[in-house]
Structure 1
Amino acid sequence: MNLVTIDEIHAAAKRVAGVALRTPLLPQLWASPAKLWLKPENLQQIGAFKVRGAYNAIAALDEKTREKGVVAYSSGNHAQAVAFAAKQFGVPAVIVVPDVTPRIKVEATASHGAEVVEVPIGQRESAAHAIAEERGLTLIPPFDHRNVIAGQGTAGLEIAEDLPDVEVVLIPISGGGLASGIGTAIRALAPNAKIFGVEPELAADTAEGLKAGHRVDWPVEKRARTIADGLRSQPSELTFAHLQVVLDGMLTVTEEEIREAVRVLARRAGLIAEPSGAVSTAAFLFHADQLPDGKTVAVVSGGNLDPSALGELLG
C-alpha cells in the first residue's frame, strides 16, 4: 500500500501554519528521575489535535469543490475540527455525531456554524456518506484519508524539531490517523526513537490486530464501554498499514489508570485532558516496565471534557 510520506507532512505543515497551534513540549519535573515531556494538543483552539488533519484536508481541496461544502462523521473532536476549518474557509459543513457524544463537543461543533446531525453510534459513517451523496458535499473522514494523516503528522514534525534526540513516543490510538502521521514523521526525522501506540483495554482492537497481523473487528457495543469516548473507532486498511510500519509496540491501559492519568495531568501538569487524551500518560505512569528508558514524549491528544465529568474524575 502507498503510505503517506514525510514530504506530504512537510506540505501539510505549510498549509496549517498559523491555524493549528505549534504546541510546545512541556518537561515534567514531577516525573523525575524519568525524563518525560508532554505534547499538549489539548491547547489547540478546538481542544484537540484534530484541527491539523481537518484543516489540511479542506485546504488541499480545489476551490470549486471546497465551496460546495464538506461533511464529516465523528465522536466529537474531528467534528469540531471540521466545523472550525470549514468556518475559516467560509464554506458549509454538516457534521454527523453519535447521539451519545458529550454535550460539550456537540455544542462546540454547532458554535462554529456547522449543521449537526445526531444518529445512533453505529450509523454515523453511513449517514455521513448518504448526506455527502445527496447534497454534493465532500466527505472529510476522521482518519482514513491521506491528507488527514499528513496533517496529524505535523505534530510529529514538531516533536522531532523540539527534541531531536527523543527516545520514546507514546500516542493514543483510535482510528490510527494520529499515530500514522506522527509515526511517519518520527521514523523519518528521529529514526532511533521507539514509537508505541496506547489503547484502553476495553477498546484494544488495534493491539489484538497488530499481534495477529491483520485487522480485527470489535463490535461497537464492546468498544463503547471505555470512558475514553474518543478512542472507540477502529483503524482503516490505510491507517492499519501505517501502524504496522511505524509502531514498535502497543500498550493497553485500564479504566482506572486512565482516570488517574486525568487526575495527574490536572494536578501535576496543570493540563485538562479528556480520558482519550490521557491514555499515553497512563501508559507512562503504570507501564514504564514495558517501555525503554530514555527521553519520552507522551501526546496529550485532547482536552474536551464536560465540567461535570472533570469534577467527577478529580473527586
Structure 2
Amino acid sequence: MTTTSHGTDDFTPLTLEEAAWFKEVFGRLSENVEQVVLGKPHVVRLALTTLLSEGHLLLEDFPGTGKTSLARSIAQTVEGTSNRIQFTPDLLPGDVTGMSMYDQKNGIFEFHTGPVFANVLLADEINRASPKTQSALLEVMEESRVTVDGVTHRVPEPFMVIATQNPIEQAGTYRLPEAQLDRFLLKTSLGYPDSVSTRRILEGARVKSHSRTLPPVLAAADMLSMIETAKRVETDAAILDYVSRIVDATREAAEVRLGASVRGALALVRASMTWAATEGRTFVLPDDVKALAEPVLAHRLVLDPEAEFDGVTATSVVGRILLDVVPPSERLTV
C-alpha cells in the first residue's frame, strides 16, 4: 500500500497525462482572457489559479485599470455568468445576497436572488460599504451559500469573488476587517499597462471594452473537473513542513502584530497545487510556494504601527522571510 502526504488511502495521484491536459487547457484559458486584459499575463494566471483553487481574489488598484474587464472575461471564458456590485455606504446586505419579498397574488414569500448568484462576482470598491454589508459576503465566500430567513440557497459553481479597493481615496471608506481579508485566497494588482499594451488598447478605441464578447473555452462543469484535478497534485511532507515554517516565521517576525492564520497556510498549499498543475507537473516544488507566498500571505499580516511608520510593508516582510527560511532539498515521503 502506498502512503501519500495527504494521509488518505483512497487518494489517487495525478498522472502525467492529466497534468499535461491541465496545462494545455489552462494555457487556452489564459490566452482567451489575455485578449481583453492586455499585457498582464502574470495577473491573469494568478486570477485563474484563484478560481481553480476555489478561492477569491482581492485587487487593490487604481480606477480604470481593467478590473471589470478581468472579471467579465473570466466569466465568459468559462461559459459562466458575471455580476458587478458597486459598493456604496448606503448598500444593504439584502442588496448583495437577495431578499424575500411577499407575493400578494399567491400569498407567500418568494426569495429574489441577489447579484452574488453568479459564477464571477465583481465587488467594486468593497471598502466603501458598511461593515454590516461587507459581512454579508462572509458566508457566501466561505460556504458558497446564502441563508435568508432560515433558508439556505446555494450559489452557482464554480463561484469566485473579485473584490477591489482603491489605495488612494480613503475618505468615506471602511477598512476591511482581518476576518474578511483572511477569506481572500490572493491579493494582487493589475497596475497600468506598458506602452506596447497601451497602444494596442488605443487601437481598439472605436469599440467599447464592455461590448466585446469572448468565445467560451470551457463549460462551467468542465471547470469543476479541473478544480478536482488540481486537488490531486502531490504535496510532499517536506513541502508541508516548508509552508508551516514560513507561516510560523510570519508570526514570529518583530514587525508583525498578527501573523498568517492556519487558513492562510491551507490557502498557500492549495494555490501551490494548482500552480504546479499549470506547469504540467504532478507534484509541488518549493519554487511554487515561493511564487505564491507574497500574494497569498502578505494581506493577512497585521503590522506593528511603529513598523508601518518606519515604512515596513507586509510584502517586504514576506520577502525577507522567504530569504531566511531554507527550502527543502529532498523529499520526505517515501
Report if TM-score (shorter chain) is over 0.5.
no
* Structure whose residues are more often helix by fraction: 1
Higher gyration radius (CA): 2
